[in-house]
Structure 1
Amino acid sequence: MIKWAKNLFLSENITPKKKAKIIKNIEKKNLLLEVYCITFASNPENLFDIMNANEFLFPYYSRKEIQILGIALSKKEAFELVKDMLEEIYRETGGFQVREYFKET
């Protein structure tokens, strides 16, 4: 099951119209080219996972609860977005408590 963060981070090139289309396609399990999602890390020792949106097509992910925190249109943009997210989280919390930050927003 996919959940969306209330404060969803987007890479620069994603317009509100593109955002709505991407979300709809991910929820309908449509194939998407070059869309990457930032989620909570599957390993609690890490902060984030960067996943190609097409990974959500696998049955494994339909049994998992996944919260999408950010969307980017390329892998390079995904890395930039993670950097921006970490900078904001650090500025707001004084640390890297990612899960706590998204619980509050």
Structure 2
Amino acid sequence: MKWYEDLYVGDSIADKANRIKWKINHHAGTVSIYVIAFASNRQNLLDIIPAWELMQKSYPGKKQMQIIGLAKGYAEALELVCSIIEEVYQNTGDVDVKSYLRGRKRRRQV
């Protein structure tokens, strides 16, 4: 798993993001935490995955997965996804989330 440098985090866990990342990386229990990742197929923009599923060593695509957001509860995850897509649309007039976030990272590094 790779973590997006400028991770999107839900308001309810903003002060706990580093600890939650550590727990996910070390396969520790994370109750009610959802990760938002780039879509695993072309039909979707983003995937919302319960963090406990990532504890499975054989989770498909886990090694290539790029996590761009964390949220507590599915409702907050949906809100976060909506705000990410809205940000992308406001800045580009399109919904190509992956290109926008990768380009945004490059612009920050320059």
Runs of 5+ consecutive residues of structure 1 not aligned to the other structure: none
Q: CA RMSD in A?
A: 1.4
Q: How many residues align?
A: 103
User: Which of 56, 59, 68 is the aligned partner of 2:57?
Assistant: 59
* Residues 10 and 76 in structure 2, CA contact (< 8 A), matched pair in contact too: yes
**Paired residue type of 1:3:** K
Deviation at 1:103, TM superposition (A): 1.1
Deviation at 1:63, TM superposition (A): 5.5
Name the CA distance, whole Å, in 2 between partners of 1:23 and 1:64.
Answer: 15
For 1:55, the aligned partner's letter is E
Matched, 1:45 2:43: yes
- Identity across matched positions, percent: 36
Could you tell me which of 21, 24, 35 is aligned with 2:22?
24
- The runs of at least 4 consecutive aligned structure 1 residues that moved more than 6 Å come to none
- TM-score in terms of structure 2 length: 0.87
How far, CA to CA, are the matches of 1:64 and 1:23 in structure 2? 15
Partner of 1:100: 99
Q: Tell me whether 1:3 sits opposite 2:2 in the alignment.
A: yes
Name the SS for the 1:37 alignment partner.
strand
Q: Which SS does the other structure have where 1:89 is aligned? A: helix
Q: How does 1:78-97 map to 2 (within 5 A)?
A: 78-97=77-96
Label 1:3 to 1:84 Cα distance change in 2 as closer, same or farther (>3 A).
same
Structure 2 residues not aligned, in runs of 5+: 106-110
